Amino acid sequence: MMEEVAKVIDCDADGWVRVEVKVKNACNHCENNESCGTSAVSKAFSPKVQQFSVQAQGEYHTGELLKLGLPESVILKAAAIVYLLPLLGLFVGASVARFAFPVLDIATGDGLIVLAALLGGVSAWLLGRRWARKLETNSQPIILGRLGQTLSTSN
């Protein structure tokens, strides 16, 4: 189970808690952090916090820290949909153009094979977006435990 610490922002009477999670970045752990171009791009374009709602059993208070969990299978499915499905579509599109077009008496050139490969990749990417939305709605994080209130640093 993938675990993350979240801070409660708001609670409603319907059993939902709005939480905020600080997005961590692998680029902050390297000693080349200041001179790395990837780190600069990552800092510029990645959101610093993410907010979403989690279904809750019980009452939580604003500012309370929670431990959230998400099964690894959800992460693996999402990675397969995002990375492998478009790649598979690219190969299928190129294979169809390479082997099926000559059988159908369609002239095949390299440009047509590349176009069919791109069409297959984009089609698989669009299909993957639809599957990812369905996966996102079916797999919500769960609250694993309470960690207490945040500490105030003001005097």
Alpha helices for the chain (secondary structure H) = 37-45, 72-79, 85-95, 101-103, 110-138
Main-chain phi, psi angles of 81, to 5 degrees: -65, -45
> What residue numbers bound the domain in which 12 lies?
1-27+41-71+141-155
Q: How many CB atoms lie within 10 A of CB 11?
A: 18
Q: How far is CA 119 from each of CA 85, 87, 102, 104, rounded to the nearest angstrom?
A: 13, 11, 18, 19
- Number of structural domains (the chain) is 2
Q: pLDDT tens-digit profile of 36-90?
A: 766 666 666 666 777 788 888 878 888 889 888 888 888 888 888 888 999 999 9
Domain co-membership, 80 together with 59:
no
Cα separation, 3 vs 80, in Å, equals 20
Tell me what pLDDT residue 5 has. Answer: 87
Domain co-membership, 85 together with 104:
yes
Helices then strands, each counted (H, E), the chain: 5, 5
Domain co-membership, 134 together with 79:
yes
Tell me what pLDDT residue 91 has. Answer: 96
